Structure 1
């Protein structure tokens, strides 16, 4: 598919931009609706807008530093997110960092924001992966190569849409029905997303930048899982004391 959705007055509107903008509107609306009885809706929106900016900066910077460091020397290429190239974990780090500072400014508990955002982040991941698919990004490993030299690849981006978007959404939002009420939404998100990425990255085509036999995504997945498990253990210990 063409990565450009349409053109207005010679300005190209990319599917990538539509995906991010749509994700922000939906997550922003749902988060405000859920937390506005505790905090100011205006403050929540400002905190989310700042976090969104941090996510974009962190995601793009993380991708460039890990996979295309040469683009750091070219400002226009570095900021051209419409051409694709965003690191999910860079986005998480940037978004959470920016969210922390803004939430602290408005006296919003960061844990309330994280637990709420964890419920709706799969929606953003869904749209982001659809944009990856439209841009023909994230190729999969060879699944089957027949005698006619027709090569089939793992549709890893479709796996991602299903697991990171659909399944993760239902897992977190219906966790109590699954008897997972002892774990917070944010910790469940970190652990579940980490496991999903750890597995799905195995089906990706070999990346140019690897950490030994692991992709950088798998390395960060392991780190995030360990962090979330420690935080869950710490919270459980506090609850029993």
Structure 2
């Protein structure tokens, strides 16, 4: 092992095994993110001072929404990975598309799948779609944090080679050279840091300007992910789309960076629209015939 390197901790990717049934840390990360987001969303919905005249979902609707979002994340995440990251392989062997146990999920795909699920749910329940997106924006970093920790436990999505970095890690499937533990960087920025930012924003603005919190989250994620992409090894089948690897914070445009560009633009657009009042409800809650929040 190189002098400036840490050994990869020997963590079994299987958290629980009961006979032929196995539960992996990655699956538990998804469950922790969904349950944590569900609990936090319920707490936010019950905080009267955050909503003003904007109609909020009921607690029962939050319970139903989590199922829709879970399906959107899983289906969208898998489809996004297939389309964005490894389409030739799946075209050659289409049955592998359904082999989710072998890994392969895209955040950008899961993000779009969750948005679509929430918009359909909002239309079905006659809710403001922007409001649901804002609620999701505040809770999503919980799932991002646990998901990136699970990536580290699995020893996947490791970073670029960093022979002189004192906290570099030699990953079992990453070759003999030490690499940046980029999964932990993403957990810290896309997860913990973004959660703190969104918590401060919801405390300051509440949900009174639909679309504002969603725009802040989308922009914040795009910036955090782009930063971390400078330390993360690009997918082997894609490599660098433009340029070459010139080391941390220098060169090498990846697919993750490319997908974050439209996210940043959309986030900025919604921040401006919400700040100017273009997304506000047209009539007060009392006139809309809304039901009370308590279930």
Structure showing the higher helix proportion among its residues: 1
Hey, what's the Cα distance between the residues in 1 that align with 2:177 and 2:114?
39
The residue that corresponds to 1:157 in the other structure is 183
SS across alignment from 1:151: coil
Task: Call closer, same or farther: CA 1:180–1:98 in 2, change over 3 Å.
Answer: closer
The answer as to whether partners of 2:15 and 2:24 remain within 8 angstroms in 1 is yes
Do residues 212 (structure 1) and 222 (structure 2) align? no
Report 1 or 2 for greater relative contact order, CA contacts < 8 Å, sequence distance ≥ 6.
2
Task: Count residues with an aligned counterpart.
Answer: 236
The residue that corresponds to 1:48 in the other structure is 66
Please show how residues 27-42 of structure 1 align to structure 2 within 5 Å. Answer: 27-35=37-45, 38-42=56-60
Do residues 123 (structure 1) and 162 (structure 2) align? no
Hey, what's the Cα distance between the residues in 2 that align with 1:14 and 1:29?
23
The residue that corresponds to 2:266 in the other structure is 227
The residue that corresponds to 2:156 in the other structure is 137
Hey, what's the Cα distance between the residues in 2 that align with 1:180 and 1:107?
23
Structure 2 gap segments, 5+ residues each: 1-10, 49-55, 166-174, 244-252, 279-295
Q: 1:236 is matched with which residue: 254, 272, 275?
A: 275
Shift of 1:138: 0.9
The residue that corresponds to 1:184 in the other structure is 212
The residue that corresponds to 1:194 in the other structure is 222
Hey, what's the Cα distance between the residues in 2 that align with 1:44 and 1:108?
12
Runs (4+) of structure 1 moved beyond 6 Å?
179-183
Task: Call closer, same or farther: CA 1:50–1:73 in 2, change over 3 Å.
Answer: farther
Task: Call closer, same or farther: CA 1:72–1:23 in 2, change over 3 Å.
Answer: farther
Deviations 1:10-64 (A, max 9, x none): 1111111111112111111221232257333222221221121011111111112
Hey, what's the Cα distance between the residues in 2 that align with 1:4 and 1:68?
25
Structure 1 gap segments, 5+ residues each: none
Larger displacement relative to structure 2 (60-69 or 218-227): 60-69
Alpha-carbon RMSD across the aligned residues, in angstroms, is 2.6
Hey, what's the Cα distance between the residues in 2 that align with 1:103 and 1:47?
9
The residue that corresponds to 1:21 in the other structure is 31
* Greater C-alpha Rg: 2
Do residues 100 (structure 1) and 128 (structure 2) align? no
Calculate the TM-score normalised by the size of structure 2.
0.72
Do residues 2 (structure 1) and 21 (structure 2) align? no
